[in-house]
Amino acid sequence: MHFLCGSDALGEAQSRGFHVQDFDGQAIDLLLVRRHGIVYAYRNRCPHRGVTLEWQPDRFLDDSASLIQCARHGALFLMESGECVAGPCAGDSLIALNCREDSQGIWLDGSEIE
């Protein structure tokens, strides 16, 4: 498991970006979102053009803080599944990553960065 942050660093209806390195030293961009107390992790990569999603650091959500939004194309993704529900990649999905939360914080499954 790879430690990302303490639980208090990701509040309800908030998002946060991370850069981690795989075992070959390659950078992996990912994002975390919390909805209804559950943390979801995705690769920070729009399926439409392969660009990162945020408009500013840690800014991945639309104005309602209920959907992940691509800053470049306006595509909207469900926080719970990563499915694109509006925009040029409708029907596609973000790549989900396995994470877990415990009393120490939020962890990314180590197999995700091999």
Question: What is the value of pTM for the model shown?
Answer: 0.92
**What is the widest separation between alpha-carbon atoms in the chain?**
39
pLDDT band at 112 (very low <50, low <70, confident <90, very high): low
- Total of domains in the chain: 1
pLDDT, tens digit (0-9, with 9 covering 90-100), for 32-59: 999 999 999 999 999 988 889 998 999 9
The letter for the amino acid at 89 is C
CATH number of the domain to which 63 belongs: 2.102.10.10
Rg of the chain over all Cα atoms, to the nearest angstrom: 13
Q: How far apart are CA 37 and CA 111, in angstroms?
A: 24
Place of tokens 């991370």: 18
pLDDT tens, residue by residue, 76-111? 999 999 999 999 999 999 999 999 999 999 999 877
Instruction: For residue 16, count other CB atoms closer than 10 A to its CB.
Output: 21
Q: Residue 32 belongs to what domain range? A: 2-113
